[in-house]
Amino acid sequence: MCLDGISRANFGSYRDFWCDYIFGRGDYILKLSLKGNNQETENDTESEAPEEPIQSDTFDKEPEQTPRKSQEKIRKPKREEKQKVLEPAEGPMVGTPIPRNYLILERYPLTPPFAYAVIAQEPDQKIPSYFIDELELTYDEKVLYNKIIAALQLELSAPRDDVDPKKYFASQAKLIADRYQLMQQKSVTVSWAKILYYAERDMVGFGAIDPLMRDPSIEDISADGAKTPLFVYHRRYESLPTNLIFQNAEKLDDLIVRLVHMSGKHVSTAFPIVDATLPGRHRLASTFRKEVSPMGSTMTIRKFREDPITIVDLINFGVLNYAISAYAWLLLENRATALVVGATASGKTTFLNALLSMVNPTAKIVTIEEVQEINIDHINWAPLVSRLSYGITEETIGEISVFHLVKAAMRMRPDIMVVGEVRGEETYALFQAISTGHGGLATMHAEDAGSAIQRLTSKPMDVAPSYISFLDLMFCSRRVAIPNPGNVGAPKIVRRIVSVDEIIDATKWVSTFVWDPQRDKFDEYLDKSVKLRKYAKDHGKSMKDVMKEIGNRIEVLQWLRARNIRDHLEINTTFSQYHTDPEAVLSRIRAETTVSSSSDESSQFPAVDLGKHDEPEQLKPTMGYKDSTK
């Protein structure tokens, strides 16, 4: 019998060939079943003669030889498979393990039980490093992770409703895994919880840097290129290298593109510089490939605190004292204009946030920034953010600069206009606004009041010297090193308001508070205050009444700190109540103080003396920032 010119014996070998071609040489179960059929076909053809003559003698011998050749072809892969070594599965990106000889200084959870932060140092050099300690995937888990990621990238769709993205991802990942029957291979060596953690980290979170983004003790994250460790700025240990290293430039490029897209921006070789806001209001500054950075892509993430730092926190940190807080509270509540100056990472924006929490609760606040960093709990608040140009030429098509936003904000009738940072022509527009009676706050890079005024009156700001007198206060914030009693050889790095100056004109200003670095205390010179005298004159009060009002506000701040009330919502509620009915708030505080006067807490409310409001030794913070990991 023939089938289209092919004998029954030949048909068995052709069937083996197509099975190998379609299903691959690894499907041995199918091949073994076909081999049994081929043996039966060979026996039948030996006992059965062909019905029609065949044109060539070669085909007469083929029925006997071809099945043996096909069997040999089947046996060879089986021998090779026994010697085959499993190919390594890449899996998710993780940090390098902690060396065994390293001394662990601190360990705290990030996403327990999957990720922990470890601060360890090499015994000889004693240089601390930051290690991300994550549960490691087995080989089977890595293979399954790769399959699940590939399936999720094809099947997962964005939710239409406002749902928790992590819960939505976890439920959809399980459904997709069941649909593709990926978990049928699950065994005791495969942990679905670990696989889901890494899948969620890489698809919903920030990828390999997600543990760093979850650490509340980290302020900055920076990558300087491939094959170099990422660095973080830790609140307790400052700058630390991490065990996270991008082994090739492509992985770093992919992460930057992903982060930029998460922020709703675009990055490419045509637009290699990006300044954007990530989900959670974290600030991202990145460069792409080697267009402007010879070492490759770079990025810096300045993390945003979900829980804003309040004025009580700054008192706990030792950044300022009760008297400075009450003094600023009184003047800012009455539309005083102020400028916060300092170097990079000196705490300017943090202090500005705390100042805004003390303004009149019904005042309209308009904030203007390039990247949103200000976070206040204020009902009547309108945040504005600038926008870059859409064009690729010198024409600024669609650009909305800070200068344009300042002009637009003046039409919104704000009580207080806040500019995140002034550095150009928007400064002139801001001073035009405060000269008409608007309250104004801003930050600027400068060392002290003198250098700040020089910058203001020079290009590109170009503020007329006659306009400087419209500025009321200038707070100078600085990162300083103070003696560390616990470690004499390693000074403690802290933030301090080193001076508070009242601006008279472009050549004259009065210092009302000055920080003494030797004693780590603040010296007060309120008897020289010009702004307090002006406030007393405008409100028909004497200086004695003004000093009493400052003392009352100090009493409120002391009560907040003694009760450990630091949440911005509770603090704003207290400030609002004091603004509406100060006598009721003071009566309640004094009543509580009278009840507790018989206990040990009576010493927390000493008599008000404006010259002695430095913190007691037992209450002084041990670090510039409190340890948020404990």
Supply the pLDDT for residue 47. 46
Give me Rg for the CA atoms of the chain: 35
Task: Tell me the C-alpha distance between 166 and 168, whole Å.
Answer: 5
pLDDT above 90 for 468: yes
If one counts the domains in the chain, the total is 3
Average pLDDT over residues 455-473: 94
Supply the pLDDT for residue 297. 96
Q: Are residues 365 and 498 in the same domain?
A: yes
Task: Tell me the C-alpha distance between 441 and 472, whole Å.
Answer: 10
Segment 298-353, tens digit of pLDDT: 999 999 887 788 999 999 999 999 999 999 999 999 989 999 999 988 999 999 99
Domain-located, residue 89: no
Domain-located, residue 52: yes
Task: Tell me the C-alpha distance between 235 and 107, whole Å.
Answer: 15
Q: What percent of the chain has pLDDT over 70?
A: 77
Domain-located, residue 623: no
pLDDT above 80 for 37: no
Task: Tell me the C-alpha distance between 96 and 244, whole Å.
Answer: 7
Q: Which of 280, 302, 324 marks a domain boundary?
A: 302
Higher pLDDT, 607 or 475: 475
Supply the pLDDT for residue 159. 76
Q: Are residues 296 and 344 in the same domain?
A: no
Residue 495 sits in a domain of what CATH number? 3.40.50.300
Q: Are residues 468 and 514 in the same domain?
A: yes
Task: Tell me the C-alpha distance between 153 and 215, whole Å.
Answer: 28
Domain-located, residue 96: no
Q: Which of 302, 333, 364 marks a domain boundary?
A: 302
Supply the pLDDT for residue 594. 79
Higher pLDDT, 616 or 364: 364
pLDDT above 80 for 183: no
Average pLDDT over residues 147-152: 87
Q: Are residues 294 and 317 in the same domain?
A: no
Domain-located, residue 72: yes
Q: Are residues 511 and 560 in the same domain?
A: yes
Handedness of CA 341, 343, 344, 345 (dihedral sign): negative
pLDDT above 50 for 30: no
| pLDDT band for position 619 (cuts 50, 70, 90) | very low
| pLDDT band for position 391 (cuts 50, 70, 90) | low
The answer to whether 495 and 477 are in contact (CB under 8 A) is yes
Supply the pLDDT for residue 87. 64
Task: Tell me the C-alpha distance between 473 and 503, whole Å.
Answer: 6
Domain-located, residue 95: no
Task: Tell me the C-alpha distance between 143 and 146, whole Å.
Answer: 5
Task: Tell me the C-alpha distance between 575 and 585, whole Å.
Answer: 9
- What does pLDDT average to over the chain? 81
Supply the pLDDT for residue 359. 86
Give pairs for 279-284: CB < 8 Å, separation 24+: 280/213, 280/304, 280/306, 281/372, 281/373, 281/375, 282/213, 283/371, 283/373, 284/259, 284/260
Task: Tell me the C-alpha distance between 434 and 341, whole Å.
Answer: 18
Task: Provide the Cα torsion 342, 346, 348, 353; round to 10°.
Answer: -160
Q: Are residues 373 and 513 in the same domain?
A: yes
Q: Are residues 76 and 125 in the same domain?
A: no
pLDDT above 60 for 197: yes
Segment 536-567, tens digit of pLDDT: 999 999 999 999 999 999 999 999 999 999 88
Q: Are residues 337 and 377 in the same domain?
A: yes
| pLDDT band for position 156 (cuts 50, 70, 90) | confident
Domain-located, residue 481: yes
In this structure, of 52-66, 199-213, 257-271, the range with the lowest mean pLDDT score is 52-66
Average pLDDT over residues 274-284: 89
The answer to whether 325 and 557 are in contact (CB under 8 A) is yes
Average pLDDT over residues 397-419: 90
Higher pLDDT, 15 or 586: 586
Q: Are residues 504 and 570 in the same domain?
A: yes
Supply the pLDDT for residue 172. 83
In this structure, of 38-42, 77-81, 613-617, 619-623, the range with the lowest mean pLDDT score is 619-623
Task: Tell me the C-alpha distance between 564 and 551, whole Å.
Answer: 20
pLDDT above 50 for 600: no
Q: Are residues 195 and 122 in the same domain?
A: yes
Average pLDDT over residues 228-234: 96
Average pLDDT over residues 561-583: 91
Instruction: Please give the residue range of the domain that contains residue 55.
Output: 2-83
pLDDT above 80 for 49: no
Residue 234 sits in a domain of what CATH number? 3.30.450.380
Supply the pLDDT for residue 27. 44
Domain-located, residue 88: no
Q: Are residues 290 and 339 in the same domain?
A: no
Supply the pLDDT for residue 597. 57
Supply the pLDDT for residue 89. 73
Q: Are residues 335 and 404 in the same domain?
A: yes
Task: Tell me the C-alpha distance between 294 and 292, whole Å.
Answer: 6
Supply the pLDDT for residue 21. 44
